[in-house]
Amino acid sequence: MNNKLKLAISPSEEMWNKQDFRDLVKEIAADEENTELYIITDNTDAGFIDYINETTGLESDHIFIMSDIITLTAKLIELSISLFLCDTIRFVNYINNTNPMIVDTDSNTISGTQAILIDSIPDVARLQPKYITQLTFWTDQIKKYNK
C-alpha cells in the first residue's frame, strides 16, 4: 500500500515569488519517500510551468494543465490528491465544497481533498504564514489516519 502524502500545487507567479512558498515546495519535492508532488493548474504559461518544473525536478507525468476548475477538480479526484495549494479563493471554495476532506474515525481512513489558500495572512502565534499552519495541521491528520 502506498501511504505517501499526495499534494498538488496550482502555482501562480505571485505565489512563486514568495520565498517561503518556494522553499516549502522544494522541501516537499525533495521528500520523495513520503510525498508525491504534482502541479495541477489552469495556468497555460508553459514557460512558467517549465521553470517551476526545473526548480522542483518533477517528472512530466506529475504535471497537468487543465482547462478549467471542473477538469482540475476531476484530476485531483482521479489522482487521489489529499492537499491542494493555490492562491485563488474561488478554486479553494469550489474544491472544498465539491470533494471535501472526510475523516472516518471508525475505519481510520481519510478521503477527499483539502484545498489551502496561499496568501500573506500571518499566523502571529506561530510566526509563520497561516497556510503553513494549515498545511501542517492537515498533513498531521492525514498521516494519523493514512497508515
pTM of the model: 0.90
Q: Where are the alpha helices (DSSP H) in the chain?
A: 13-16, 19-30, 46-56, 69-78, 89-98, 130-145
Q: Do the beta carbons of residue 28 and residue 7 sit within 8 Å? A: yes
Kindly report, residue by residue over 27-46, the tens digit of the pLDDT: 898 898 999 999 999 988 88
Q: Do the beta carbons of residue 72 and residue 90 sit within 8 Å? A: no
Judged on CB neighbours under 10 Å (0-12, 13-18, 19+), 48 is middle
Kindly report, residue by residue over 52-90, the tens digit of the pLDDT: 888 888 888 999 999 999 999 999 999 999 999 999 999
49 has pLDDT over 50? yes
* Phi, psi torsion values for 133, nearest 5 degrees: -60, -45
What's the CA gap between 121 and 133, in Å, rounded? 11
What's the CA gap between 137 and 143, in Å, rounded? 10
Task: Work out the average pLDDT over 124-128.
Answer: 83
Q: Which residue has 495572512 as its cell numbers?
A: 121
What's the CA gap between 77 and 24, in Å, rounded? 23
Q: Which residue has 505571485 as its cell numbers?
A: 14
Kindly report, residue by residue over 101-113, the tens digit of the pLDDT: 888 888 888 889 9
Q: Which residues contact 47 (CB under 8 A, 6 or more apart)?
A: none
Percent residues over pLDDT 90 in the chain? 42
Which domains are seen in the chain, by residue range?
Answer: 5-145 (3.40.50.1000)
